[in-house]
Amino acid sequence: MAPYHIRKYQESDRKWVVRLLSQGMAEHIPATFWQLLKLPRTLILLLGGPLALLLVSGSWLLALMFSLSLLPALWFLAKKPWMDYVDTVLRTDMSDITKSYLSEPDSCFWVAESEEKVVGMVGALPVDDPTLKEKRLQLFHLSVDSEHRCQGIAKALIRTVLQFARDQDCSAVVLDTSNIQLTALSLYQSMGFQKTGQSFSCMWARLVAHITIHFIYRLPSSQAGGL
């Protein structure tokens, strides 16, 4: 296990964090595809479509071609929410990480470095919601390179955010993940995050049953002693 350390983001890290973001999101496409295949409406389409075509046309070849043509279309549906997310992020907060995360004292972006390579990242921004009666921090873009997982890097990055939130006198840390990201769900729950709700981020997410799950970690003043 190679040693690692966590530090603040530098501009020279950009190629590494963009790679982590893109590869991390792409990893979820196969799981989304298989989930899509298991949906009742997809099974009806895969089985009922060719059967109906066979009954109408009498051609087994046409029915088979119809079935095979559906698979690329389903893969596209599984891929689109993740690629749209990457595109949106690279046009918004990660278009200029220094400006978005390091220009104010109540936000930050960290990387985990090992052997002169960035192998993990996480960001934190204050929650901008005037209706809230408490100060909250939101965790963004937690990702660890696939070759450096199971080394405690993700937990260390989360603890870094939680300690930063304490230092900022926040009452809670919130984050969003998805039902596809089973490892992340287990990790957050094991560290004390509690589910507060769920939603669909867009029409495409609804089509593939890609559910956004909202979590919160409470930081009452009585816990100010550390993790």
Could you say which DSSP state residue 127 is in? -
In 15-146, the DSSP E strands lie at: 108-114, 117-126, 136-144
Task: Please state the pTM of the whole predicted model.
Answer: 0.87
pLDDT in tens, 62-103: 777 777 778 898 899 899 889 999 999 999 999 999 999 999
pLDDT in tens, 13-59: 999 999 999 999 999 999 999 998 888 888 787 777 767 766 777 77
Contact 107, 95 (CB under 8 A): no
Q: How far apart are CA 111 and CA 144, in angstroms?
A: 9
What tokens appear for 20 in the block?
């982590």
pLDDT in tens, 165-207: 999 999 999 999 999 999 999 999 999 999 999 988 777 777 7
CB atoms within 10 A of CB 47: 11
Domain parsing of the chain, residue ranges: 26-89, 97-218
What is the domain class of 97-218 according to CATH? alpha beta
